Amino acid sequence: MQDEKQARKPTLSEVAALAGVSEITVSRALRGSPSVAGKTLHRVEQAAASLGYVRNRLAGALAGGPSNQVGVILPSLSNIVFPDVLKGLEIRLDQAGFHPVLGISNYDPQQEEQLIHNLLAWRPAGLVIAPSGMTDVSRSLLAGAGLPVVEIMDIDTDPVDMAVGMSHRGAGGDMARHLMAQGYRRFAYLGHDIERDRRACARLTGFREALSEAGLILDACVSLAEPSSVTLGRRGLKQLLAQSDQRPDVVYMSNDDMAVGGVFHCMAQGIRLPQDLALAGFNGLELGQTLPVPLTTTATHRTRIGEIAADCILERLAGREPARSTDVGFTLIAGGTA
């Protein structure tokens, strides 16, 4: 080891000098090129270690070498959903020696555009984005970036490059059909700040469409202008029930966090599930499935979305051509709350 405070980090040429070879040989050796003699390799590694050499990938990438950074833009980290996706991304990227560079858009198209610009400035190897209403500028930045781009979560819209996700509209429709099949007829919806969450919006649209096809309607539809949470679901359901003169048969909640809040409200009020009131959520979080009565919901494959998105980037970088759109599907869980 060397001094604790080395102001200037050692460079390739210093390693080269110590090892008695040229810079390029050190470069090749340290990058694991097969065309370096075992003996040379060893000597270079020794020299690098003894100097505490740490490769400068800024210089490498600028000189035309590959980057191992992948830009990742997500709308939020508050709910476990996006960390789950990020986990899948990270696992696969890490295996390939890549790192996610993160940006959070807060569901704001302007922030999103800014982030795309900022992340592109680092010339990443690829970009993964859970879109929040991309602007034309955003789209054109991505189209012109000349790198693999994966839009995740949703496959209801046409992607700039690639897409991995599921149909939220389809999920909403399927849940509506499932609930109708259970015999429910009076439907209500309780959502969080749905203006900003286009995917929650798409589910509601699909839900409505399916009801409509069966000649039914949504009796009540409440959206609260706050991010989703268990607390909000609990409070929201209380409010929804208070303001309905006739209690609905079933409430479709914008996601599991909200739905679990609803379940807790019912528990506290002695409202029996599903006899007195039925509830359905979305996401299939562990939380909802571990309740004494498992939540009726739609399980999504979040980590899988992340993994596949990473694979798309890596495949493309390897010169192959991944599917333009990948549907990871979803699974309706007929739990005990509806």
Partner DNA sequence: CTGAAAGCGCTAACAT
Partner DNA sequence: ATGTTAGCGCTTTCAG
Q: How many Å separate Cα 137 from the centre of its chain?
A: 22
Alpha carbons 136 and 122: distance in angstroms, whole number: 21
Select from 151, 153, 262, 137 the least CA-distant residue to 197. 153
Q: How far is the CB of 93 from DNA (least distance, A)?
A: 19
Mask of contacts with DNA, 9-38, x by CB under 7 A? Answer: x-xxx-------xxxxx-xx-xx--xxxx-
The Cα-based distances of 199 to 73, 116, 136, 313 in angstroms read 16, 20, 19, 23
Report the distance separating Cα 74 and Cα 69, nearest Å: 16
55 is a site residue for DNA (CB under 7 A): yes
By CB under 7 A, residue 212 contacts DNA: no
Helix 38-51 to helix 12-19 angle, to the nearest 10 degrees? Answer: 120
Q: Is 46 in the site for a second copy (CB under 8 A)?
A: no
Task: State which residue, 90 or 249, has the beta carbon closest to a second copy.
Answer: 90
Locate 220 and state its tokens: 């009540």
Residues within window 225-244 making contact with a second copy, judged by CB under 8 A: 229-231, 234
CB of 182: closest distance to a second copy in angstroms? 24
Beta bridge partners of 222: 190
Indicate which single residue of 216, 221, 222, 287 sits in contact with a second copy (rule: CB under 8 A). 287
Pairing of strands 330-333, 297-300: antiparallel
By beta-carbon proximity to a second copy, the closer residue of 58 and 214 is: 58
Q: Is 275 left (phi over 0), alpha (psi -120 to 50) or beta?
A: alpha
Task: Find all residues with CB under 8 Å of 259, minimum gap 6, and list them.
Answer: 233, 253, 279, 280, 281, 282, 288, 295, 297, 337
User: Residue 17 or residue 104: which is nearer to a second copy going by CB?
Assistant: 104
- Which C-beta is closer to a second copy: that of 100 or that of 274? 100
Joined together, the tokens standing for residue 242 give 């208070």
Single out the segment in contact with a second copy by CB under 8 A; choices: 20-28, 36-44, 258-266, 275-283.
258-266
List the one residue from 260, 279, 299, 313 that touches a second copy (CB under 8 A): 260
Residue 52 binds DNA (CB under 7 A): no
323 binds DNA (CB under 7 A): no
- Cis, peptide link before residue 292, omega less than 30° from 0: no
Counting residues that bind a second copy (by CB under 8 A) gives: 65
**The two three-digit tokens of residue 125, written as one number:** 């190897």
Measured from the CB atom, the residue of 173 and 306 that comes closer to a second copy is: 306
Nearest distance from C-beta of residue 26 to DNA, angstroms: 7
**What is the contact surface with a second copy in residues (CB under 8 A)?**
1-7, 9, 52, 54-59, 61-62, 67-69, 77-78, 80, 82-84, 86-87, 90-91, 94, 97, 99-104, 117-123, 140-141, 143-146, 229-231, 234, 260-261, 264, 267-268, 286-287, 290-292
Which residues bind to DNA, rule: CB under 7 A? 8-9, 11-13, 21-25, 27-28, 30-31, 34-37, 39-40, 55-56, 59-60, 62-66
